[in-house]
Structure 1
């Protein structure tokens, strides 16, 4: 199909303006190009392009910081958001989703994780058990030895488990919004955890499970889009 001479790529024919998503995708491409050209070395150009990407995403980041009620720790929330954007860039596959969808998942995950860490003492279960959060740095005060993990593999397993739990928690929230039946929840959990079908999911064929997974993911994307 031939594009009209006066129409620019990514422009809205009705208004002549570039759509926000196209601006975001274009900025992502600039960051990725700068990273490739840097050949793994520190690059001022890459830093500038990444800063522009954060600026492009600023509205979404601010909105999600408010959603997760982290405005009282704005600096930490913005650092978590920057980490989320970096991870989104590293794992982004344009054939699977738009960057706006992919980065939103990462932002929600990082901000939810931050909220769980800093709000731990405010949970009902923590209050009833008398649990108090302390900073590890405080363990090295008064001449005590610095606290260090002694088992690197255990640390990696712990981080992987925390990341997996965070994904499941986020997905469960979306499934609640969709009022998903219990059997479908099992199917989604099996897929996320890369485990063999069991329990309630054994009554479904492989094709039925694939169809349910695709439909559920599609509906989850719609819920996320509506939530901003």
Structure 2
């Protein structure tokens, strides 16, 4: 068990190293898309999340208010396509070359021996640690298997509603009557307000998940350190 835990942690470290190498490469910062008529523009960040949604002045003369939702979604899809094209041009060869040089056989080496317990965590009372692990696992199991992080925001006193998730903008609802009365400036303010709220809600969910994952990682490290200590206390065969 100790050797297996050490191997898992070594592989996690290798993965983190590869991710860091990839993140050090120049990456796209933004994608931009418009609807076919050019009335709505959507900008997405490097993660594909909408960062700005704008409607051109004078849209009422050419666009039916009830069509705005579809135009926003179309512009968002085009922005994601633009970002995808930019990502496809990122040069990953330097990262791959470094990885091949470190692992010429193509295999990520597993740990051949246990490292010092301090590297993994802190030895603790086994019973208290077990109780904390069980609580963390219970919390993790309470999460729905198909739960997907998402954030919803409202603007214009509820006239505009946006929902975003890991895949970008997932829904847009705009009260056509309200939009027709407020023009481009009012509509853009409402879109910005709804988008800000949605991103904040999504970030809060992501932060909670990150904290839960870090807690589980810390517990695993402490469990390994505790097991090492218990093994050291076992009588050695002569």
Assess same fold via TM > 0.5.
no
Structure holding more strand per residue? 2
TM category, shorter:
under 0.3
Task: Calculate the TM-score normalised by the size of structure 2.
Answer: 0.23
Task: Calculate the TM-score normalised by the size of structure 1.
Answer: 0.24
Structure holding more helix per residue? 1
Question: Larger C-alpha radius of gyration, 1 or 2?
Answer: 2
